[in-house]
Each structure stands twice: as C-alpha cells, then as structure tokens.
Amino acid sequence: MKATQQLHDLGQSLWLDNITRGLLTSGTLGRYISELSVTGLTSNPTIFEHAIKEADFYDDAIREKALTGKSGEALFFELALEDLTEAADLFAPVHAGTGGVDGWVSLEVSPLLADDTAGSIKAAAQLHARAQRPNLFIKIPGTRAGLPAIEETIFAGVPVNVTLLFSREHYIAAAEAYMRGIERRIAAGLDPTVASVASLFISRWDVAIKDMVPQDLRNRLGIAIAKRTYTAYRELLASARWQKLADAGARPQRLLWASTGTKDPAASDTLYLEALAAPDTINTIPEKTLLAFAEHGKVKAALPLDGGDAEALLAEFARAGVDNAALAADLQREGAASFAKSWRDLLDRIASKIDVLTKAGQT
C-alpha cells in the first residue's frame, strides 16, 4: 500500500499545493486523485505566477481576454477561476462522498488586501459567488485585519481557508473568529454548516532560525510548533463552547499543515509529512514532495494529543535565543509581504505576456 493511502486511512487528507492548466489538461491531477489519494488542492499567487511564466498553457486565454479589454487582476481572476472550478469539479465526488468535509480547492483574495478588512469581505463574497462551486474555499490571511474579515465572511456563509498562521496563538485567534461567525449564524437562525480550515505554516520556521541554533535543533522547530498547535486544536474540539456549536450542527474548522516542502537539502524530502501524520488534519504539499512521499515515504506514529516532547523542545529553542512569539509575528508579516510581492510579480507577468502575445498577433 502506498504511503499516501496509509495517511489517508489514518484520517489525514492530502491536498496538492499546486494548480496549473497543464495539470488539468494532461490528466495528471485526475491521476493523483485516483492513484495517490489526493483529495483537494490549494493555490497562491506564487504558484500561478510560476505557471504562467514557465509554460504556454495560458497564452491563448490571456490573448483572448486581452483582446476583450481585460488586464491585471480582472484577467488573472478569470484565469484562476477557470482552473479552480475545473479542479473543484474533479474533486466533487470526494466532496459529496465525505459530506462536504473533503474535496476542496482554494482561491486567495488579493494579498494587497491583507490590511483591508472591508475589502477582504467584499472580495471573498464576490469571488465565491463567481465560482458557483460549493467546494471552493476563499483564502483570507489570519492577520489583525483579516480576523474580523474571516468572522464576517463565515457569517455570510462563505467557506474560508485561513492562511498565514504561524503559531498556536495565531491558530486560536483564527478558530475563535470562525466560531464567532458560526455563533452569529445560529443566533440569526441561519444554517451553521459553513466549512473552514486553518492553515499553519511549518517549514518557514526552520528556514528562519537555521543559522541561529546548533545542528541538533535544525529542522525541528516547525514540527514542535505544529505539535503544540495540534494539542490546542484537539482541546478546542473538546471544549464546551465547541460542543455547543457541534450540537447545533456546526462542523469543525480543520487544522491544515501548510509549507511542508523540505527547504533544507540536507534533510529528508519527506520530513514534514512523516512527522505530521494526524487524524482530522490536512497536509497540503508541493507536487515534488507528494511524488517523493508516494515513492519512499513512511507513515510513522500519529501526533500525540498532548504534544509529546513539543514543550520541552520549545524550551530548548528558547534557551538558544529563539523568541517564538516575536518570530511568529515576524513570519506572518514577512509572509504577507512575500505574497504581496508575488501578486505584483504575477500581474507584471500577465502584463508582459499580453504585450508579447498581442505584438505577435499583429505580425
């Protein structure tokens, strides 16, 4: 049995952290669904920018849309929605078969809205309405401005993938925003079944401190943060507050491991998949990591509910000079800035493509 199937049987969903038109048209995504137990996918501006840069799959569509006067964000969202609605349809049987728990795809609001609560709420509603797919999450960052947008978007009945979470505290804030939205729906007599996931970024922790700690602590901080957060997740699901919502028909906001491709060439290429096996969670992984795990990955013990050695290990990092709270804030801020840069690069890439393609069409 493939390691991917073993993880699936353990109760963890494997989502692909990638989307390109080539994955769809070649049938590769369909094969990953049928052969590698992939049950969803996520996207971000960097993924789309690379896809448009490195292949010509989008050239015809970009040319046609440009000829109708579209450019910039308007053109990009048309491209993204074309891809993601097709992917959502591929995952529709999974979504139906799991009662809406799995089989999701994700589309991000403009990262330029990271500090704009009202703008994020409006964009989330518009994008979800345009997609017309029940299994499409709208990604909103769990920033200070993003948290009230998450609450309001959930209250409006729009499924949300909370992105850019880096700590237990970030996760709890996102979970509370989700629950407030659900509580408001119940108070208003609305259906409490609105799906959400909370995406905790893992590998960026280890990249950030790789030159600050001794060799025996390298590539261990992200996993320790994940273990600590998993404990908080299980405790929240056992809380009286959540049980009241569950009794009213609400579904848990699932915890998702993001940024789980290994960045250190000296470390195992399946490090974060093997370390973060856990029921009722999701691991969204780069295509290269998915294939590596399917080939030689090992499914080991599931994460301990009490966090295992996480707190002892985090104490070691503290003694080594790592301030987790300050670093989490830095990583979230840097992540938002990185996504904004990728967004601008994406729009520049589209503008460059339009220029090249329209000139080619005139010759």
Give the tens place of pLDDT for each residue, 285-333: 999 999 999 999 999 889 999 999 999 999 999 999 999 999 999 999 9
SS3 assignment, position 24: helix
Question: Which residue range is the domain that position 130 belongs to?
Answer: 3-362
Helices (H) and strands (E) in the chain, counts: 16, 8
Residue 362 — pLDDT band, cuts 50, 70, 90? Answer: low
The mean per-residue pLDDT over the stretch 8-22 comes to 96
Q: What is the pLDDT of residue 363?
A: 43
The residues annotated as belonging to the active site are 139
Q: What pLDDT score was predicted for residue 51?
A: 87
Q: Kindly report the CATH number assigned to the domain that includes residue 241.
A: 3.20.20.70
pTM of the full structure: 0.96
3-state secondary structure (DSSP) of residue 110 = coil
* pLDDT of res. 203: 97
User: What's the average model confidence in pLDDT over 32-36?
Assistant: 97
Mean pLDDT, the chain, rounded, equals 95
Task: Give 50 or 107, the one with higher predicted confidence.
Answer: 107
Give the Cα separation of 201 and 328 in Å (integer): 10
| Among 69, 73, 251, CA closest to 160 | 251
* CB-based burial, 1-12: b 16+ in 10 Å, e otherwise: eebbeebbeeeb
Give residue 361's pLDDT: 61
Please tell me whether residue 302 adopts helix, strand or coil conformation. Answer: coil
pLDDT > 80? residue 151: yes
Question: What domain count does the chain have?
Answer: 1
